[in-house]
Structure 1
Amino acid sequence: MSRKHPIVAITGSSGAGTSTVTETFEQIFRRESITSTIVHGDSFHRFDRFEMKRVFNEATAAGIAPPSHFGPEANDFTSLEKLFEQYGKDGTGRIRNYVHDEDEAFEFGCDPGTFTPWEDLEAQTDLLYYEGLHGAVKTDDVDIAKHVDLCIGVVPIINLEWIQKIHRDHSKRGYSTEDVTDTILRRMPDYVHYICPQFTNTDINFQRVPLVDTSNPFDARWIPTLDESMVVIRFANPRGIDFPYLLSMIEGSFMSRANAIVVPGGKMELSMQLIFTPMIWRLVENSRKARGLTGLRSPSIA
């Protein structure tokens, strides 16, 4: 953790909805005039799309379990930790991007399925923002979580997570339900050992719980809407959280435990704005003061 150069990490499984949370944070950054470096977790995959296919085929031919994007064999955890450590120390580091599709290929000038060249971070940013699968990973070799100043887990219940992944991969990536199902099954050991344990290391978890039947996620015809859901928000350390204020501002909310508030799904973005804006404001205000810069104005929720 770093007072001068804070790191915020959003971590969640494939299909969890971390991209939606990132949109909320981008709104906060724009409104509060905060400069951020945004890092996407898939840029720290070990293999590009074509190399991953080769590694997969070789492992399958040899009769062994191929690596998955959830585990350490297919990810460069060491370089990710090095980035977090370096940024926390002096606000520098090196990043790249993974090119997903033709639109990004046009933007970055690289073929889909490849990585852009490594480049230096933009100088003098207020914070580093990470979105991906491994923002709070701890293994015998690395401890990424210890470098993060604010870590948020996005954790829909697993049937909803699978529904969201199946629909996304089918509509945006052209995969069949059978292909996605095979991926889910193949990744399960790494899911259990590397994804789930992170949510013990997070500061706040957002867990969306649908109020409609999701018994068979592999045959669901649509994704439950936010209005068909409730969201459980768990704080690892509830000290300093103004629960009476949140309850008064979020209609239909209630506390289920001393460190958890439950809100209607349609109020999830409002909840994030109310919770995260003062947290980000304090991190950046302290950072700017530590760097001898002018502090922020008072935070706004507009």
Structure 2
Amino acid sequence: MNDRAMKKLCLHPLFSVGLMIRLLLIASMMPVAAGDWYVPFLDVSVSSFVLDPWSTWISSGGTPVAFPYGFAMWLMFLPLTLVAKLLGTSLQYGYALTLLGVDVGLLYVLHRLLPGRRRLLLIAYWLSPFVIVASYVLGMNDLVPALLLAWSMWNVRKVRLGVAGFLLVAAISAKLSMVVAFPFYVIYFFNNKSLRQYVVRFMAGCLACAAIFLVPFAFSVSGLQMLFGNPEMEKIYQVVVDTGGGGVIYPVPLTYVLMLYLAWRVRRLNFDLFQAITGMAFLLIVLMLPASPGWFVWSVPFLVLYQAMSGRMAVFLAAMFSGLYVLGTLLNSQIRLINGLGFSPREVLHLNPLIEGRVTSLLHTTMIAIGVLLALRIWREGIRRNDFFRQSRKPFVIGVAGDSGAGKDTFANAISGLFGAHSVAKMSGDDYHFWDRQKPMWHVLTHLNPMANDLERFSSDLISLADGKSIQSRHYDHHTGKMSKPIRIASNDFIIASGLHALYLPILRNCCSLKIYLDIDEGLRRYFKIKRDVSERGHSLERVLSSFEKRQPDSERFIKPQANHADLVFSLQPIHPRMLENLSDHHHLRLKLVVQTRRGFNELSLNRILLGVCGLQVDMGVSSDGGEVRMTIEGDTSASDINMAAQMLYPQMLEFLDTKPEWQDGMMGLMQLITLSHISQEQTKRFI
């Protein structure tokens, strides 16, 4: 599938145009950087092959600025340099064709990151003046670390973290500046809880690559001298703000630290946020420095990803940014042809030195202004409007109410299984009973009565969790009837507050992003409660039957009215009431699910998917004013079908789920699916 799409990309006319431009430049240009530094270094390294080519180069009298890069960069250019040497042709062609191969490789990686965006990729990347001028006119090799970093990020997206770590360190080996990305990787894994379990694989990949590329380089004294003695390393300190009294502030490190803090403060990062923040950091660093022309290539993949998620204005601004870059760069560059002749565009134009200086400064100022505008748009569109960013500012609170035995804990566990226990904080109303089972008041008031529960503390704790704070709560043990010692519950991305009175008080309802009521069929509720209390909690059958009669008035008065405040009501019912007669564990209980909602959801799409994918029978009705939707769903379905339906209906929600979400079979799986629909809807409303 991807290979066919890549083939179509290569057959596109715009690809042919970009390829012809590159081949013409390779055939006609001998870039100064390549001709004076990189190619001579590679020539020496293949003429007398050793594992420390930097020492050989220095001992032969070579300039220390020729190749201040690590093993990854050297090994990337080595094969075609050797081929050119064996064929007796100019090593420049081996160097340039390596860049072309890396260029196509980066196009392929971006194609995998942005499937189906062929035209955008070809315009924004393949025809990008940044790439063409920096790589083929000036001979810069920054495409190599850009490819390795983008390839690493694609493997992060695919949760191939061992490979991602290996490629990240390879990018750092190719160009030390890529170390800028490493802390963002660490923050991403720390703030994406579903990936923490795989961080060992990432570190193993990093260590493996470091052992291959970084450790041997550390033993090359000449290599280290060339790397850390490179004048480019000092550019970070050239931009200063004098504070008076001999003190200065370095804005570039300051900006970088602020970007790291921004990433750290986002409680939950997804891939889009990760790449947007990392790309914004690279772009701002390059804009603030007296950067080498090749450094702008680092930001090109991130700008392409931004243009893909934004609109035409983003494409227009990026085009202006790259166009100004070309004009400003060429005016300050020496162009050398393959025959050795060179010229400077400023000399060809015969500009007055005063006018030339102002034109160059104006071009650079305008380019920086547009670059800053792009960075601000990335912040606004790629970060602030991101669902994960909005989620990090306020947890999503789900309130689940229902009668005793309605399945509140089972439902809460099912929803928790979708997002992963690492992303969910759960509160149970049972933990807020005033009295243990042994206390006399237990026989006076049922726990269905609000007076028997500390709803004030329940509300206070829920508010604290919604505010991102931790709480101390006891746990009610249904086997012993006693409360445990206080335990700490930390706030999380999703908070599930379930209980008999979870929607009883207005303040509780106001805390909830989504309010759910479980209105199980009374006969079915009694069946499940008897099964649970007798088999699991050790109560006698007589005691359970007696509690039904005792609790019924309180249920009618305090519990069932909460359904009127719910956004979503699930009613689980047997297909036929007589099915509950003489039911045993050996018989399959066939159920139907009745769903009522006062916040309209995508019922038409859901109806179509439930019929076509899950093979269910669905009857749907809408109230006369369109304010309430009622669906009755019958049939059996599997967890795999529910998973497929979720991917088709709510692809934007998949990143919120655990890496391996626990979908349920049957009606509970349908309740998971419909709940996810409402969560998606509420997330969208945060834009409003």
TM class, shorter-length: 0.7 to 0.9
Find the counterpart in structure 2 of residue 188 from structure 1: 552
CA deviation after TM superposition for structure 1 residue 113, in Å = 2.4
Matched, 1:5 2:429: no
Aligned length: 259
- Whether the aligned pair in 2 keeps the contact of 1:4 and 1:88 (CA below 8 Å) is yes
**What is the rounded CA distance, in whole Å, between the counterparts of 1:173 and 1:272 in structure 2?**
26
CA deviation after TM superposition for structure 1 residue 191, in Å = 0.3
**What is the rounded CA distance, in whole Å, between the counterparts of 2:683 and 2:486 in structure 1?**
27
**What is the rounded CA distance, in whole Å, between the counterparts of 2:569 and 2:588 in structure 1?**
17
Matched, 1:118 2:508: no
Matched residue type, 2:634:
P
Among 249, 262, 282, the alignment partner of 2:632 is 262
Cα distance change, pair 75–251 in 1 and its aligned pair in 2 (3 A) = same
* 1:240-279 superposed matches below 5 A: 240-241=602-603, 242-248=605-611, 249-258=613-622, 259-264=629-634, 266=636, 267-279=666-678
Identity across the alignment (%):
22
Greater relative contact order (CA < 8 Å, ≥ 6 in sequence):
1
**What is the rounded CA distance, in whole Å, between the counterparts of 1:69 and 1:148 in structure 2?**
22
Matched residue type, 1:178:
E
Find the counterpart in structure 1 of residue 523 from structure 2: 159
- Whether the aligned pair in 1 keeps the contact of 2:399 and 2:514 (CA below 8 Å) is yes
Matched, 1:44 2:432: yes
CA deviation after TM superposition for structure 1 residue 42, in Å = 0.5
Which has the larger displacement, 264-273 or 222-231? 222-231
**What is the rounded CA distance, in whole Å, between the counterparts of 2:497 and 2:610 in structure 1?**
29
Matched residue type, 2:496:
Y
Matched residue type, 2:630:
A
Cα distance change, pair 152–98 in 1 and its aligned pair in 2 (3 A) = same
CA deviation after TM superposition for structure 1 residue 184, in Å = 1.1
Cα distance change, pair 45–225 in 1 and its aligned pair in 2 (3 A) = farther
**What is the rounded CA distance, in whole Å, between the counterparts of 2:463 and 2:399 in structure 1?**
13
Which has the larger displacement, 188-197 or 168-177? 168-177
Among 413, 426, 449, the alignment partner of 1:71 is 449
Matched residue type, 1:260:
R
Which has the larger displacement, 34-43 or 234-243? 234-243
Cα distance change, pair 163–265 in 1 and its aligned pair in 2 (3 A) = farther
Which has the larger displacement, 10-19 or 268-277? 268-277
Q: What whole-Å deviation, never above 9, does each CA across 1:257-288 have from its counterpart, x for those lacking one?
A: 2101111264313322322335446767999x
Find the counterpart in structure 2 of residue 233 from structure 1: 595
User: Which entry has the higher C-alpha Rg, 1 or 2?
Assistant: 2
Which has the larger displacement, 223-232 or 199-208? 223-232
Q: What is the SS of the residue equivalent to 2:548?
A: helix
**What is the rounded CA distance, in whole Å, between the counterparts of 1:209 and 1:88 in structure 2?**
33
Matched residue type, 1:55:
M
CA deviation after TM superposition for structure 1 residue 34, in Å = 6.1
Q: What is the SS of the residue equivalent to 1:173?
A: coil
**What is the rounded CA distance, in whole Å, between the counterparts of 1:201 and 1:225 in structure 2?**
36
Matched residue type, 2:483:
F
**What is the rounded CA distance, in whole Å, between the counterparts of 1:144 and 1:155 in structure 2?**
19
Cα distance change, pair 222–151 in 1 and its aligned pair in 2 (3 A) = farther
CA deviation after TM superposition for structure 1 residue 46, in Å = 0.9
Matched residue type, 2:430:
D
Matched residue type, 1:231:
L
* 1:21-170 superposed matches below 5 A: 21-30=411-420, 35-51=423-439, 54-56=440-442, 66-101=444-479, 112-123=480-491, 125-138=492-505, 143-170=507-534
Cα distance change, pair 221–22 in 1 and its aligned pair in 2 (3 A) = same
- Provide the alpha-carbon RMSD of the alignment: 3.1
Q: What whole-Å deviation, never above 9, does each CA across 1:13-39 have from its counterpart, x for those lacking one?
A: 111122321232122112xx8611111
Q: Which has the higher strand share?
A: 1
Please report the TM-score for the alignment, with normalisation by the length of structure 2: 0.35
- Whether the aligned pair in 1 keeps the contact of 2:462 and 2:511 (CA below 8 Å) is yes
Q: What is the SS of the residue equivalent to 1:144?
A: helix
Matched, 1:16 2:384: no
Q: Which has the higher helix share?
A: 2
Please report the TM-score for the alignment, with normalisation by the length of structure 1: 0.74
- Whether the aligned pair in 2 keeps the contact of 1:34 and 1:126 (CA below 8 Å) is no
- Whether the aligned pair in 2 keeps the contact of 1:163 and 1:223 (CA below 8 Å) is no
Matched residue type, 1:122:
A
Matched residue type, 2:673:
L
**What is the rounded CA distance, in whole Å, between the counterparts of 1:226 and 1:279 in structure 2?**
30
CA deviation after TM superposition for structure 1 residue 207, in Å = 0.6
CA deviation after TM superposition for structure 1 residue 245, in Å = 4.1
